[in-house]
């Protein structure tokens, strides 16, 4: 459900959920945002995933955190793609898989996410999950603005 598909009441509930999230009132945020996540709103899915992953306002649930992060990432949500990359990179909420991590970091980087570009650069610089490649690392650092 995109912003343009919401009624005024739904937009108010969505905004209330986002405000609750930003204000760290996570139990209220999950109540407001869960219906939007269920309806396919990528931003709500991303925020619900963060709360579930970190146990914010509820008990942590890695399985559901992965489900929502993946759903948002599949819709092209750059921060969710970055978050999913880290789940695979660190083996948190997902099996550790540097190949999949790199794939998701690159999708986020393609959308201009500097943090993903820097992470890719560090992976190549350190040979962490990929073949060490100083030239490839420099390419990604330069892309990230360093």
**Residues 6 or more apart from 9 whose CB is under 8 A from it?**
none
pLDDT score recorded for residue 1: 62
CB 51 within 8 A of CB 73: no
Long-range contacts of 8-14 (CB under 8 A, 24+ apart): 10/36, 14/41, 14/44
Query: What is the Cβ-side half-sphere exposure of residue 26, based on CA atoms within 13 angstroms?
Result: 15
Per-residue pLDDT reduced to its tens digit, 86-107:
999 999 999 999 999 999 999 9
Instruction: Give CA 110 to chain center in angstroms.
Output: 14
Residue range 72-83: mean pLDDT, rounded: 98
- How does the average pLDDT of the chain come out, rounded? 95
Residue range 19-24: mean pLDDT, rounded: 97
């Amino acid at each position: 459900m995109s912003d343009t598909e919401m009624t005024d009441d739904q937009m108010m509930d969505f905004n209330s959920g986002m405000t609750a999230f930003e204000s760290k009132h996570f139990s209220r945020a999950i109540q407001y945002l869960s219906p939007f996540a269920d309806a396919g709103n990528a931003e709500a899915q991303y925020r619900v995933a963060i709360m579930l992953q970190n146990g914010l306002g509820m008990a942590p649930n890695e399985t559901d955190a992965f489900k929502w992060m993946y759903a948002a990432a599949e819709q092209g949500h750059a921060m969710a793609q970055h978050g999913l990359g880290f789940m695979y990179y660190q083996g948190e909420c997902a099996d550790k898989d540097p190949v999949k991590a790199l794939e998701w970091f690159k999708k986020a980087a393609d959308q201009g996410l500097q943090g993903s570009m820097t992470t890719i650069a560090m992976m190549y610089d350190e040979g962490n999950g990929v073949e060490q490649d100083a030239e490839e690392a420099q390419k990604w650092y330069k892309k990230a603005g360093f």
